[in-house]
Structure 1
Amino acid sequence: MPVLFLNLGPSAAILNNKKNIILVALIVSVLLMGAKFVAYLITASNFVLTDAAESIVNVVASAFAFYSIYLTSLPRDSNHPYGHGKVEFFSAFIEGALISVAGIGILIKSTYSIFYPNAIHELLTGAIIIGITGVVNGGLGYFMISKGKELRSLTLEADGKHLITDMVTSVGLVIGLTLIHFTGLLWLDSALSIGVGMYIVFNGYQLIRRSVGGLMDEADFEVVNNVIEILDKQRKPEWIDIHNLRAQKYGAELHIDCHLTLPNYFDLIRVHDEVKQVDELINKEARIKTEFFIHTDPCLPYCCHYCSMPDCPIRTEEKRIDIPWTMVNLTRNKKHFEQDV
């Protein structure tokens, strides 16, 4: 007996919160990009130029992130029955790709500059400007990562990590410009740029890997394990077993379908109530909005040896073992057996 519970997508308050955070990030990115280009005009440093060029990526990425949050806010329709949440994975992919391109560009330009250095000046002034932009990016980045985890938004996390990456670049810039000012070693400008460029490419790869995993419905084991732990700790005797559990993430929402074994003498109203309790338990305890599709199965005689149902009128043998609810046991497409202990 399949039973379907539908939750109506992200709340308006959460979506508005996401939009406001991304909008602030976009405005800040535009202002900081202007500051970095001013620093380049003052110093003529290739290192500063690469950081300023990366800021263009920040602006484009934040703009796309804002658009993706808008798409996420759209209601479900016939073409998108699970909503538009997966656009967040696509947004993170674009951002990761842009970060990687920026990092590769820095590596190429820095390598060239080792062999063909150019004159630079007013380095301390440039370092101060870049340092200020780094502090702003770092604070905003950590805030966005925190809010992204709280709101279960990959877009906010990705944009926050991008800003943290930009902060690291700025730190490298300040160190490099200061060292060059006091040592006169022009090659340090390019050498430090190469190190920062490699770090940027690695961060871009991580974002791309995570977004592709989401687009390919790769299991989020951290989230699924959390759901299973909650079910195991608060399981009722009526819930004889859960199996064939599968989960998909659509942005900030989790979609789960599974089979729930219940006593075969329950009427339809009792079955409905038990399924509803599972749905409400996870939505309350798991800290992620979850849509459940639960198929109910009747118990069979071979379930008795692990069933805890008291005063069961059809029991064929006493309970002998406790079978823990683990990732392995709940994801298999069959009822539990004695070897599942």
Structure 2
Amino acid sequence: MRRATYASVLVVLVLVAAKMAAWLQTESVALLASLVDSLLDGVASAINLLAVRHALTPADDEHRFGHGKAEALAGLGQGALVTGSALYLFITGIQHLITPQPIGSSPAGIAVMVLSILLTGGLILYQRHIVRQTGSLAIAADRLHYVADLATNLTVIAALLLASQPDYVWVDAVAALIVAAIIVKSAIDIVRGALDNLMDREMAEVDRERILTVVRQHSQARALHDLRTRRAGLQVFIQFHLELDPEISLRAAHRITDEIETELRRMFPGAGVLIHQDPAGYDDPVSEFVSPSGKPTGTG
């Protein structure tokens, strides 16, 4: 994750320098839109770097559940920055649409945008690999920036090719508006993911079903109820009530619980698992499932 943040910052520094040089030559508002987007990507990537470093800090006496939500806070910060850049681009694009401005020679701008596509594509592939390994919200949010950048870069190339012709000067402003719309969409996705994490949204239904399957497959587990899950950055937290045979010993109940916890941690590495043991049928709870050895109940 740290290497991914370093790679992101390095790529964006190269792109900002190249786009700045090309914009000074062309004065294209579409290229300016891409430059502003890259500048904010750089700020967002720097925030990510700090957030990831903090999120990877082990739990301490004051933060017993770790520091994983630093990633979500970074995501909200990114969303605010991205939204601000989109508003600026909307205003600039509308101004240039009302009063179109001719742009300078476009070959330098096109060359920079091609370089941007190559570097951005390589970074996205690397970030995708890291997200698959870690599930990092901060890296996923950063990757979303650069996926949007690919569409942005292609739009800017089209604008530079067309806007150099006197009859198509307006295309430059339209391209800036398209870029702004793409940026807004990416900001919405980033903020939604961050809020889900901060508000302790339940894990995906497919993951909840995997948890239920682990318990179902244990021969001595009768049922479970009150399954609750959440994520904080990279870490998953799972808790539920496990229903067991009322006649078994405390030692046996502890052994069964340990076996289920071990399997859940194998499935979700580093997960915080909290299991409360109940005698099967105690207070007649509504269970998530019942094994063939227990009495049938509804789901809940």
TM-score by length of 2: 0.91
| 2:174 paired with 1:228 | no
SS of equivalent residue, structure 2 residue 239: strand
Q: Paired residue for 1:276?
A: 258
Q: How does 1:157-236 map to 2 (within 5 A)?
A: 157-182=140-165, 184-222=167-205, 224-228=207-211, 230-231=213-214, 235-236=217-218
Between stretches 170-179 and 72-81, larger displacement belongs to 72-81
Q: Deviations over 1:76-132 (max 9, x none)?
A: 122211000011111111112222221221111101111122231111221121121
- Say whether the 8 Å CA contact 1:95–1:207 is kept in structure 2: yes
Matched, 1:295 2:276: yes
Partner of 1:334: none
Flag structure 1 segments of 5+ consecutive residues without an equivalent.
Answer: 1-17, 310-318, 322-336
Give, in whole Å, the separation in 1 of the partners of 2:238 and 2:64.
15
SS in 2 for 1:289: coil
* Equivalent position amino acid for 2:223 in 1: D
Q: 1:247 aligns with which of 226, 229, 237?
A: 229
- Superposition pairs of residues 53-202 of structure 1, within 5 angstroms: 53-182=36-165, 184-202=167-185
- Contact 1:237/1:308, CA 8 A, preserved across alignment: no
**One-letter code aligned to 1:156:** I
Once the two structures are superposed, residues 40-75 of structure 1 have per-residue CA deviations (whole angstroms, 9 ceiling, x without a partner) of 011111111121111111111111101011111212
Q: Could you say if the C-alpha distance between residues 86 and 263 of structure 1 is closer, same or farther in structure 2, counting changes exceeding 3 Å? A: same
TM-superposed CA distance for 1:183, in Å, is: 6.2
2:263 is matched by which residue type in structure 1?
Answer: L
C-alpha contact 2:228 2:239 (8 A) present in aligned 1:
yes
Residues 1:24 and 2:7 aligned together: yes
Q: What percentage of residue pairs aligned between the two structures are identical?
A: 23
Range that drifts further, 174-183 or 27-36: 174-183
Three-state SS of the structure 2 residue aligned to 1:265 is: coil
Aligned residue for 1:82, secondary structure, equals coil
1:42 corresponds to which letter in structure 2? Q
- Of 19, 28, 36 in structure 1, the residue corresponding to residue 19 of structure 2 is 36
Deviation by residue 1:140-187 (Cα, 9 ceiling, x = unmatched): 123213321321101111111111112211111001111223564110
Q: Give 3-state SS (helix, strand or coil) of 2:39's partner.
A: helix
2:237 is paired with a residue whose SS is strand
Against the structure 1 CA distance between its residues 242 and 56, is the aligned structure 2 distance closer, same or farther, given a 3 Å change threshold?
same
- Equivalenced residues, count: 295
Q: What secondary structure is seen at the aligned counterpart in 2 of 1:20? A: helix
Q: Distance in 2 between matches of 1:267 and 1:181?
A: 82
SS in 1 for 2:271: strand
Write the letter of the residue equivalent to 2:220: E
Q: 1:271, 1:320 → 2: CA distance?
A: 19
Report the Cα offset of residue 226 of structure 1. 4.5
Q: TM-score, with normalisation over the residues of structure 1?
A: 0.81
